[in-house]
Amino acid sequence: MNHKERIDAVMNHQPVDRTPFALVDGGAWVSKHENKCYGDLYHLPDAGASIFARYMDEIDTDLISGVNGVFTACLNAFGCDIDVTKVGNPVNTEKCITGPEEITKLDKSDVREKLLANDFVQCMLKQCEETKKIVGDDKYIHVDIAGPFTMANVMYGTAEYMVLLVKQPDLAMQLLDYATEISIQIFKLLRERGADIAFIAEPCASGNMLSPKMMKKFVVPGYERLMSELDYKYYIAHICGGSLKRVPTVRDAGLNAFSCDYAVDLDTALTDGEGKLVIFGNMDPAGTVLMGTPEEVYEEACGRIKTAAGRGFILAPGCDLGSAAPIENVKMMRKACEDMAAQ
């Protein structure tokens, strides 16, 4: 099987020649190993696409990201300050709405135009476009972009937005509607540049922050709107933290895969998703992959593959790869996929 055939097979719950291997993103990891900040990488002539592609070739992933490490950076187009100057650090995105009165003035009619007018968004689109030129039909390109609920939290401030949900729910929903339009439009622009898989990141929907009832009320409608208005090949949801109870909700919403954190029990997640939802994960990124030996990474990866036992599964870190993770450790995940298939 080639990379695309392997992903197609697992997404359709068909047999694969080996467990697929991918990263959630990998941007901070590449930034650290190249000793270049995102600002430097994204302002290269190809927006850093060839550098990111080289690393993914070296570790032989079955997917490649088309926008590395900048999942909330498009909010710069709407007034959020972004810091892309720190080597190996996630992009820091500041809030841009300071009070409820500003929400009432939001206008969805020019969201696409604001995105296109933003210099950094243009760099993001360039990276996706150049990545497509590099990989051609060899690999599917996935794009890691914040989902609507996380977009709203970043724009208003997470603590402040949670209070708004309780005290002024109508305004909270108005901002969420606006944030949904932002997610839709940036995903559309990336699709036009060659992206195949929408990787919808909702860290603010973690089970450590929202109840299952709130998840269904505030997050699932965003998934549904994105899937109804976009035309991606596949849809992957990513939620951080203890999100085991999210699996049936994501499954029933109709997404293809769920990227879950290492805190999630893999066997239970696979059982809950079996036949409908592929589980993507869930190696310990800040523990074994970052701090362990190559042998320990290999052992954990083999254990994950054994647990999957042929069920729909893509081996990956349980969240983004730690920037200082040794490349030898990352390669061991791919080696485990190959070796376990030979047994």
pLDDT at 309 exceeding the cut of 90 = yes
Angle at 282 between CA 4 and CA 293, to 5 degrees: 105
Name which of 115, 18, 118, 108 is nearest 61 in CA terms.
18
Q: How many residues are present in the chain?
A: 343
Residue 241: the pLDDT is 79
CA Rg value for the chain: 19
Structure confidence by residue, pLDDT tens digits, 321-333 = 999 999 999 999 9
Domain positions in the chain are 3-342
Which parts of the chain are beta strand (E)? 63-65, 82-83, 92-93, 140-146, 197-201, 234-239, 257-260, 278-283, 313-317
pLDDT in tens, 15-58: 999 999 999 999 999 999 999 999 999 999 999 999 999 999 99
Average pLDDT over the chain, rounded to whole? 95
pLDDT of residue 207: 78
CA dist., res. 57 & res. 77, Å (int): 32
3-state SS, 259-271, equals EECCCCCHHHHHH
Those residues with Cβ within 8 angstroms of residue 244's Cβ, 6 or more apart along the chain or in another chain = 207, 260, 264, 265, 268, 269
pLDDT band at 239 (very low <50, low <70, confident <90, very high): very high
Specify the pLDDT at position 246.
Answer: 86
- Looking only at the bridges linking them, the beta strands covering 92-93 and 82-83 are antiparallel
pTM: 0.96
Q: Determine the CATH number of domain 3-342.
A: 3.20.20.210
Q: For residue 243, what pLDDT is reported? A: 74
From 2, 3, 180, select the one nearest 106 (Cα to Cα): 180
pLDDT digits (tens, 9 = 90+) for 155-174: 999 999 999 999 999 999 99
Q: Where are the beta strands (DSSP E) in 126-214?
A: 140-146, 197-201
How far apart, in whole angstroms, are the C-alpha atoms of residue 329 and residue 339? 15
pLDDT value at 240 more than 90: no
Query: Looking at 187-196, 199-208, 236-245, which range is the least confident one?
Result: 236-245
Annotate 210-265 with DSSP letters as a single string. --HHHHHHHTHHHHHHHHHH---SEEEEEE-SS-TTHHHHHHHHT-SEEEE-TTS-
CB 202 within 8 A of CB 260: no
Per-residue pLDDT at 237: 97
Q: Is the pLDDT of residue 92 over 90?
A: yes
Tokens describing residue 2: 């080639």
Q: Cβ(58)–Cβ(294) under 8 Å?
A: no
Please report, as a single letter, which amino acid is at residue 112.
R
The conformation of residue 90, written as its DSSP 8-state character, comes to: P
Residue 242 has pLDDT above 80, yes or no: no
